[in-house]
Structures are given as C-alpha cells and as structure tokens.
A and B are shown apart, each in its own frame.
Chain A
Amino acid sequence: MNIKIKTLLTVVAVAAALVTDSAAKNITLLNVSYDPTRELYQELNAAFAQHWKAKSGDTVTIQQSHGGSGKQARAVIDGLSADVVTLALAYDIDAIADKARLFPADWQKRFPNNSAPYTSTIVFLVRKGNPKGVKDWDDLAKPGISVVTPNPKTSGGARWNYLAAWGYALKKHGNDQAKAKDFVAQIYKNVPVLDSGARGSTTTFVQRGIGDVFISWENEAFLAQKELGKGQFEIVVPSVSILAEPPVAIVDKNAKKKGTLEVAQAYLQYLYSDEGQEIIGKHHYRPNAPSAAAKYANAFPKVNLFTIDELFGGWRKAQKEHFDDGGTFDQIYKP
C-alpha cells in the first residue's frame, strides 16, 4: 500500500478515536429494586442524572424495575440484565452472588454500612380512628382481626414483617421458639390475602379496603398516610420492631459487559452523598449520614429495634429456617 494512503488512514483513525472518545455518551443503567421504592428512585435517578451530567457530560438514563424482592432476585439470576440491584434484604443479593455469580460473595464490604445506604423498620397502618384498637403485635393475633401482609416467599418486606413478629414473641416469651411459632401462626391465620410484594399489599389495604391492619414498611406506611389515602389512615408503632437494612450492590458482570461499571459505582455511591441522603430522608427512609439523620430525626417514631443478627443469626440462617421450602412459614401458613 502506498505510504501516503497509510498515513492518511492512520490520521483518520486517530481523529475518529479522539472524536468518539471526547463525545458525550448516552448511558443506560437498569436498577432492579424491591416493591415500594418506586418513588424514592424516581427522584434519586433524576438527581443522579443531573449530577453525572455536570460531572462527566454524559447523559445517563436509569431504568427501574420493581417487584417483590425475592422475585426480583430470581429475575436477575434468570438473566435480567441489571447493572445494580437495590433489594429489600441481604439474603436476596446473596442469592444472586451464590447462584449466578455475577459479583463477589463479599459484596457487602464495597459500600459503607454493609452496603445499606439507609435503614427502615416495620410498623402498622390502621384505618382512621383505629377502630379495632390495634396497639401492639398481640392485637394482630387476636381472632376477628384481619391482617394484611405480603407473601414472605416472594417479598422481602414480608420477611421483615414475619421476623419482626417472631422477634417480638421471642422477647415476650423468653426466647421460646415454640411459643413464637404459635404466635406467628395465629397472626397468619388472620391474613386473608397474600400479595407478592409490599406495594401489592398497600393496594389491598388502601385501595381495595381489605383488612384492619397492614404490617408495613415504615416508608410505605408514611406514603399511604400522607399521599395515597390522606387522612384515612393512622400509623401505629409497635413496642418492638426489627431494624431493616435494605442493601445495594453492583452487578459486576452485567455492568462490565455493558460498559457501565463506572457509572453504576458512582450511582450507588451517590446514595450515600448528602444529596442522596436528603432524598432518602424525604421519602421516609431512615438516612445513615449524620447530617440527614439529624435533620429527619423527629420525622421518625422512636422504636425499640432489634437486628436480624441478634435474634436470628443473620439472613442466611433466618432464610433457611423460616422461608426455604419446608421452613416454619410453610408449616404455619395454610391458605
């Protein structure tokens, strides 16, 4: 080949590479999340997109997928190409790491607070005036009361609900597992409908008018009270509840394949930023950052919280004993 032609081609190739590299990119991320976080991530995504545009010049669009946490984990294991997962509980993310090997098993060490950018807990939502006089977990086990909670087999929130009730019974009965099992069984006798996710249960209770009490994520209860059915509901805070720590993780293999690893990392890091924590608090999740936590301290009721590690030995153990096939939930729940 003529040397001049070669030189010309080289110049064109280098110029093209430079132009390509310097041009702003359009990036799309998929955040596979649990059921009640729709509103939270809508605002967070818009804020992060602005932040990232200002920082890098790139346009990032974040697609959201929501459903019961267990179902969402299964979808990712089955091939849903998530760049990040933001699920209700660590076990569901562990399941992705274990079964699909899309990221390392020690994923919880990658971000602060065991990769949980916020915490939450479980409270009760009752109808205005609390006509059934629900005050604590014991009231949910009484005959004649109708309790709404989702299915622990598919919903992360439902598993938190279940374990919160179990933990309450353990504390009340001196760690007696049999009594705790009976107590939780009594509550589930009062459950007429099992939705697959927390948002479905909100629909059941708020929009369909079913049930006397809804065992709910704290943030979802606030949402129902303030926005979905303003003035129609009241929040009842039980004497004891569980500290829920919904975690986040980058799905390394998917993100690498799609060339989104850097943005995915920045996106999850943004959840811990002042801006991110502010949005988190605004949506009734309990922020971890001291400034946001202080700002929203009065917005959240004071609850006596226990952790899953304290009473259940961590998520893997709790999952195996209570929610795997043949576990206590299968033993006590007879539809």
Chain B
Amino acid sequence: MQNNYRRVAALIALGIISSEPFSGPVQAEQQEELRTKVEQLDQEIKILKRQLELQKEASAEKAKTTPLLTAGAGGFSLQSADTNFVLKLRGYIQADSRFFLDDHSAGTANDTFLLRRVRPIFEGTVFEKFDYRLMLDFGSGVTSSAANDAYVQDAYFNAKLWPALNIQAGKFKEPVGLERLQSGGNLLFVERAYPTQLLPNRDVGVMVHGTLFENTLTYQLGAFNGVADGGSADIESSDDEKDIAARIFAEPFKSSDIEGLQGLGIGIAGTYGNREGAPRAYSTPGQQRFFAFRSGAGTAAAPNVVADGENWRISPQFYYYYGPFGLLGEYAISDQELRRDDGAATFGNIENRAWQVSASYFLTGEKNAFKAVNPRKPFALGGEGWGAWELTARVSGLEVDDAAFPVFASPASSANEALSWTAGFNWHLNRNFKVQVNYEQTDFDGGTSSLLQEGEQVLLTRGQISF
C-alpha cells in the first residue's frame, strides 16, 4: 500500500510539473490530457486513502467485539473485548525424586520418583470485580487412593469491593502459615518445614481480607469448617463447630526510603475453634511418619485417640529480603484437647510446637522475594545466560508435648522431637523451569524404630515447569 502511494505520488508530481504552462508550441490538447491524468491519479490516491481509512474503521469496530487471546510465560489468557470476562489457564508440574541414603534398615520408605504436584489452574475475573480460581491436583498420592485422581485444591471466588475489603468464599488456604501461603510453585525447598504441619492447609469457608495503609498492612479474617493440623478438607464431617482464622502481616518499610528494611515483613496468625475427629500424624521431609496418635478400635488392647474439644493455634512469622539475600522464619503452636478411648475415656490437652528458619542467596545477583523470582539472564544452550542460581539452607524442628506420651501416643513408635537440617540449591533456568536439589538430615528424640533411632538422610530433587 505504501509503495502504491509513493508510485502514484511520483506520477502526480510528474503530472503537476508537466501541467505547468508550456513555453513551447505545446498543444492545448496535450495539456488537457495531462490534466485528466492528474485528476485520475488524484482520485486513485483518494480512493486508496479512503479504503485504508475504512479498513482501519472496520478493524477498530471488529476489535470492540473480538476476544483477546494471549500466550506467554505467564500462561494463556482469553479476554472478552469489553474485558468483563477474563480466563487464564496456568499450571505447574513437579516431577520429584526421593532417594533415602543409608536406608538399609527396615521400615524406611522406598526410593521413588513421583509426581509431587500436577496442578492445572483456571482463574480469571468476571465484571472486573469478581475473581475466581479453580486449581486441581493430579499429583501422586494426593487422594487416599494413591492414584493420580483429580483433587480440588482451590475453588473459590473473591469479590474485590475495595482494596481494603475483599470477600472470598469457597475452598482455599486458611490464612495462617507463612510458608503454606507461599505458592507450591515458589517454594524454596522441595518440602515445606514443620510449622506447616501444625497449621491448617485448605479449608472451606468465607473470609474478608484486604490491604491498608498503602499496602503496608495485610489482614485476613475468616470462618472455616476447621481442619486438623496440616489438614485439608472439602466438608465438615466431624462436628458442627467452626474455626475462626485470622492473620495480620505488616511490611512497615515497604514504601519507605530505607532500602535495607523495605523487604521486612512481620506478622502473626492463628485459629480458634472446637474440633472432633482424628488428629493428624507428623512426617519427615522424606514424608515418613515419625509421630502418630494412637489409632485403634478403642479397646484396652487397641486404644484410639481423637480430638475432642478446644483447639487453638498461633503462628508468629516474618520474612526479610534484601538484594539477593532472603530469610524466612515462623513459629507455630497447636493446642488441642484430646480424648483417649480404650473402654473408658481419658481426656487431656497437648501443645505441640514447631519452628523453622530458612535462608537463601542468589549467586547470580537476582533480587530475592517471597514470590517467584525471574532470572536476570535465562539459561540458553550455547548462550551467555546461566539462569539464576540460588543457595538454600534451613533448620526446622517439631516438639511434641510430653503429655502426649504414653496416653495419647506410643513412645516406642513415635518420636517426641524431630530436628531437620536442609542444604540445597535451586537453579531457575528461566521463568518457567526450575530444578531443586535438597539434602535433608533429620534426627529424632524418642522412639525405638530404626527410623527414629538412626534418623533420616534423604536426597530430594525436583524438576518443575510452570506457566
């Protein structure tokens, strides 16, 4: 089209030059002929311009009703022309290996490859104010059948009334554990630390939440069915009681000029409720059980322990990020009234505690953060970029209340304390692909099984693709 314009313009110019009053004996007929040519060319230009104008108008008109489809590192997105309907397709897959070192003793879990998380995510917005999210999980052993069944991890909507007031309902993470609130795709280590096991996972309920003071203060307050420590559920199957969960988290220097404190966040969260039903066991980073409440037929020979009464949890938490350095810590207490059935009922109250401190450092200089980190120079075969390399270390412990033994848990098969050390590295090849390698050393106090006596040494690896 542009070339056509140029050609026609050149011809017109020639025509105009030619149509100047002729000095020689040029016939009037020739002048008229040239004038006609110029007029024709002028019309052609006008027609071409108008056609272009109409094409633009038609394109603009079409754009008003044409949905927008985008694809990129952040996933796929489909958006109606009026932006009232947005659907994003995202997801991540984690292919893990779990190899136990020195695992000749009986009772140690098998070395295995596994699909830790296989999660398609459908999320979006309708009418600008209403977000929704559906996340399924097809990972190994997510459901009790141990097959790759689909499991609903998240299914909720969120009404964004104002920044300070959102209302969210459905199934989602209870707002308590700091590491739990970190997306499964952004974890610093292959497995989360012990505090997560004392705090609730996903639950069904309704929550108000928002940000205040220029996003320096975040709050959440919700009512949920209530789940056991580390538990996740879709329905209240044990009792009529409900849990209240609340969290407040401040990043007071986020918008300040004090660069060294901008990445500091500190908060506290907790739950309160009454619970009945089976309490959950606790596991090592290699997912081997090191503590379980007594579980049997409820007879003298096989006593059974259930939660029966008040349950509260509290978790102070913080993170700190400065340049390539990151530090995260949390402490958790879970206090639960229990009942032992063995022909008679014995009541008690135990208070378990867990903590963790983890640190990370980007050797390649990326800015560390609680959320996903993008490599400055993505890895390219034969290219200059090596992705982002991050060293990680963690220490985490869990202490079971002494009062749990021997009435509520067997001192032979359960430890009363676990302490895990982790060292590893993460290789973020690009925004979408990550490799994680962790070595975990866990030692126990209490228990007579070979696992509890000898401890656990496990090498965990992960290849993760996310979009």
Contacts and interface: CB of A to CB of B under 8 A. Distances in A.
A193 B43 contact: no
A208 B49 CA distance: 9
A252 interface: no
A208 B53 CA distance: 11
Chain B interface size range: 10 to 19
Interface in A185-216: 192-193, 195-196, 200, 204, 208-210
A208 B43 contact: no
Contacts of A193: 47, 50-51, 54
B50 A204 contact: yes
B6 interface: no
B46 interface: yes
B85 to A, nearest CB: 14
Contacts of B47: 192-193, 210
Given A193-B47, A193-B50, A208-B49, 12 more contacts: A146-B43, A192-B43, A192-B47, A193-B51, A193-B54, A196-B57, A196-B58, A204-B50, A208-B50, A208-B53, A210-B43, A210-B46
A191 to B, nearest CB: 10
Contacts of A210: 43, 46-47, 50
B64 to A, nearest CB: 11
Nearest to A71: B61
B35 to A, nearest CB: 12
Most central of A193, A196, A200 by chain B CB within 10 Å: A193
Nearest to B39: A131
- Ordered nearest first, which 10 A-B pairs have the shortest CB separation? A192-B47, A210-B46, A208-B50, A193-B50, A204-B50, A208-B46, A210-B47, A209-B46, A210-B50, A193-B47
Interface of B: 43, 46-47, 49-51, 53-54, 57-58
Nearest to B49: A208
Contacts of B50: 193, 204, 208, 210
Interface in A257-275: none
Contacts, number: 22
Nearest to A335: B51
A227 to B, nearest CB: 21
> What interface size band does chain A fall in?
10 to 19
Contacts of B57: 196
B121 to A, nearest CB: 31
B447 to A, nearest CB: 67
22 contacts: A146-B43, A192-B43, A192-B47, A193-B47, A193-B50, A193-B51, A193-B54, A195-B54, A196-B54, A196-B57, A196-B58, A200-B54, A204-B50, A208-B46, A208-B49, A208-B50, A208-B53, A209-B46, A210-B43, A210-B46, A210-B47, A210-B50
Nearest to B44: A192
Interface of A: 146, 192-193, 195-196, 200, 204, 208-210
Contacts of B51: 193
Nearest to A210: B46
A150 to B, nearest CB: 11
Contacts of A195: 54
A21 to B, nearest CB: 33
Nearest to B42: A209
A70 to B, nearest CB: 14
B363 to A, nearest CB: 57
Contacts of A146: 43
A201 B51 CA distance: 12
Nearest to A193: B50
Contacts of B54: 193, 195-196, 200
A195 B57 CA distance: 10
A200 B57 CA distance: 11
A195 B47 CA distance: 12
Nearest to B61: A196
Nearest to B65: A78
Contacts of A200: 54
A159 to B, nearest CB: 19
A195 B43 CA distance: 16
A193 B54 CA distance: 9
A208 B51 CA distance: 11
A209 B50 CA distance: 10
A208 B58 CA distance: 18
A146 B43 CA distance: 9
A146 B46 CA distance: 12
Contacts of A204: 50
B90 to A, nearest CB: 31
A146 B50 CA distance: 14
A209 B46 CA distance: 7
Nearest to B51: A193
A211 to B, nearest CB: 8
A195 B58 CA distance: 10
A259 to B, nearest CB: 23
Nearest to A146: B43
Contacts of B46: 208-210
Nearest to A151: B54
A304 B242 CA distance: 85
A192 B50 CA distance: 10
A196 B57 CA distance: 10
